[in-house]
Amino acid sequence: MTSSGDVHDAAQRAADMLAILLRDQADDPGQRAALTAVLRAHGEPEPVEISATDLGGLRQAALTLAGVFAATDAGDAARRINALLAGRAHPPRLTSHGGTTGWHLHVDGSDDAPWPEWFLTSSGLALAVLLAERQAPPGGFCASPSCGRPFVNTGRGAARRYCSPACGTRERVARHRANEAAQP
């Protein structure tokens, strides 16, 4: 989870990291800098350093995690989360990273676990809790053809289709304009 222990923050961190890891991978230093910024913004304790090897492992982890965000229903999401955690997650443990953060849960091997292991297990745990809370897929990918960004479902209402109100509005305006243009 995050150093604050908030499951919603941990799930959002997963979506933010996934958005970086799934896009063009040509710029390793730029991608590492963007990931470092996300981790710091979500309260990850210093030092936050991602090596080229870490980045390769994080990219592989992102491909696995993307399946959870692509799940079509709660059962599909649960199967994907269970598969993600199977053989990777360790018994839950509380940590404060030597007193540098508040107490929070981890299911990775240790406080010094490699970034890919930590990313998959902490994200899997957060998404599992959200699925159990909502009884629905914990996230998705933006339905806007020009976006596709991953997002987290945290509300109690209907499932989201777009990552932001801006994407939803852009798509509604485009549909409206297309309908107007099609009328004689």
CA distance 42 to 50: 15
Helix or strand or coil: residue 53?
Answer: helix
Which distant-in-sequence residues (6+ apart) come within 8 Å of 168 by Cβ? 144, 161, 162
For the chain, the domain total comes to 1
**Angstrom distance (rounded) from CA 18 to CA 92:** 23
Alpha-carbon dihedral angle through residues 43, 152, 146, 40, given to the nearest 10 degrees: 0
Q: Is residue 105 predicted with pLDDT exceeding 70?
A: yes
Q: Are 124 and 146 in contact (CB under 8 A)?
A: no
Q: Does the residue 61 lie in any domain? A: yes
Q: Do residues 144 and 172 lie in contact, with contact meaning Cβ atoms separated by under 8 Å?
A: no
CATH number at residue 93: 1.10.3300.10
Residues 6+ apart with CB under 8 A from 92: 105, 106, 107, 125
Helix, strand, coil proportions of the chain in percent (round to 5)? 55, 5, 40
Q: Own/partner pairs for 142-151, CB < 8 Å, 24+ apart?
A: 142/167, 143/167, 143/171, 144/168, 144/170, 144/171, 146/170, 149/15, 149/19, 150/14, 150/15, 150/18, 150/19, 150/22, 150/66, 150/69, 151/15
Q: Give me the mean pLDDT over the 133-158 stretch.
A: 88
Q: What is the mean pLDDT of residues 65-92?
A: 94
Residues spanned by the domain of 52 = 7-137
pLDDT in tens, 4-43: 558 899 999 999 999 999 987 766 778 989 999 999 999 8
Residue 1 belongs to some domain of the structure: no
Query: Is position 171 within any domain?
Result: no
The answer to whether residue 168 is domain-embedded is no
pLDDT at 175 over 80: no
User: Between 171 and 14, where is the model more confident?
Assistant: 14
pLDDT on residue 21: 95
User: What is the separation of C-alpha 33 from the centre of its chain, rounded to a whole number of angstroms?
Assistant: 17
Residue 106 within a domain: yes
* Dist CA 36 CA 41 (whole Å): 9
Q: Taking the CB of residue 184, how many other CB atoms lie within 10 A of it?
A: 2
- Answer whether residue 155 is part of any domain: no
Residue 5 is predicted with a pLDDT of 57
For residue 177, is it within any domain? no
Contact by Cβ (8 Å): 60, 116: yes
In a domain, 154, yes or no: no
Q: Which amino acid is at 124?
A: G
* pLDDT score of 115: 93
